Structure 1
Amino acid sequence: MTRTTERSTARLLTLLAESVDAEDWPALRALLADHAVVRYEHTGEQMDATAYVALNRDYPGRWRFEAREVVDGGSRAVLRARVSDGTETHAVVVLASSEAGLLVDLVEVWAEVGAPPESGRRPDLG
């Protein structure tokens, strides 16, 4: 069985979530092609595979990365996750592309999880 059939983009995203949650940085790096590009949509930051692993490894605190849903679109996939250090919680969406069984393009979108806006700040959803 080839690496491509063993590891679809959806499977790679599941492994990414597991690697980050376990703080297994060599495993995370092994999922990324050498030419991979990672973008944070919400900040405009862009980095290569090595910088992405370093950012996750060196980020302060112990963060849990919980995959909630993975949508398989063949060579493209989407992961919805919840990331928390017990104090802060974020909702994360990761859009990914893969080639030859490795992730080549990741776009992450992060949002803080919080209470809905106060009444009167937006139309009633009722």
Structure 2
Amino acid sequence: MDAGAVLTRLAEVIDAHDWEGLPALLHDDFTCRLVHTGEEFDKDAWVRFNADYPGFERMHVEDLVAAGDRGVVRARVVGRGDEGEELVFAVASFATVRDDLVVDLTEVWADVGQEAPDGTRLA
């Protein structure tokens, strides 16, 4: 599979909350880095992190670009806060695929709907 097909499948599995199927898409040498927090996860830790993330509901792929063994996904992630309020995030995931599995992933997360410095609401 090319990087585009692997990343499409990865997003489908995460959106479906298929935590048992997620490890099958990750290389044994898998590493994920979260740019916004500096955290780094191996395969097992990243699967647990996703499975245990509070309030996660959906992941919608909005854009995907891939060439060879590299790909980028831009997605909207929806969840629920402690009070039941909807929380929306944007994530850009930069991936490298080896042996038809994701081996390296770097994620950049942001809140959606923040106010710009001039007071204009971004959406």
Residue 75 of structure 1 is aligned with which of 57, 69, 73? 69
| Correspondence for 1:108 | 107
SS at match of 2:20: helix
Give the number of the structure whose alpha-carbon radius of gyration is greater: 1
- Structure 1 segments, 4+ long, off by >3 Å, are none
If the length of structure 2 is used for normalisation, what is the TM-score? Answer: 0.87
In the alignment, the residues of structure 1 paired with residue 96 and residue 51 of structure 2 have an alpha-carbon distance, to the nearest angstrom, of 22
| Counterpart residue identity of residue 47, structure 2 | V
Mean CA deviation greater in 7-16 or 44-53: 7-16
Q: Is residue 33 from structure 1 mapped to residue 32 from structure 2 by the alignment?
A: no
Structure 1 residues 100 and 115, CA gap change in structure 2 (3 angstroms): same
State percent identity of aligned pairs.
Answer: 43
Structure 2: stretches of 5+ with no match in the other structure: 81-85
Indicate yes or no: 2:42 matched with 1:48: yes
Work out whether 1:85 is the aligned partner of 2:79.
Answer: yes
Structure with higher strand content: 2
- Alpha-carbon separation, structure 2, partners of 1:108 and 1:120: 28
Q: Could you tell me how far apart the structure 2 residues matched to 1:89 and 1:77 are?
A: 23
Counterpart residue identity of residue 57, structure 2: W
Q: TM-score, normalised by structure 1?
A: 0.85
Give me the CA root mean square deviation: 1.6
The structure whose residues are more often helix, as a share, is: 1
* Partner residue in 2 for 1:95: 94
Query: 29, 49, 55: which one pairs with 1:61?
Result: 55
Aligned residues: 115
Provide the C-alpha distance between the structure 1 equivalents of 2:100 and 2:116, rounded to a whole number of angstroms: 42
Residue 119 of structure 1 and its aligned partner are, at CA, apart by: 2.7
Residues 46-80 of structure 1: per-residue CA shift (max 9 Å, x gap): 01011101001011124200111110121100000
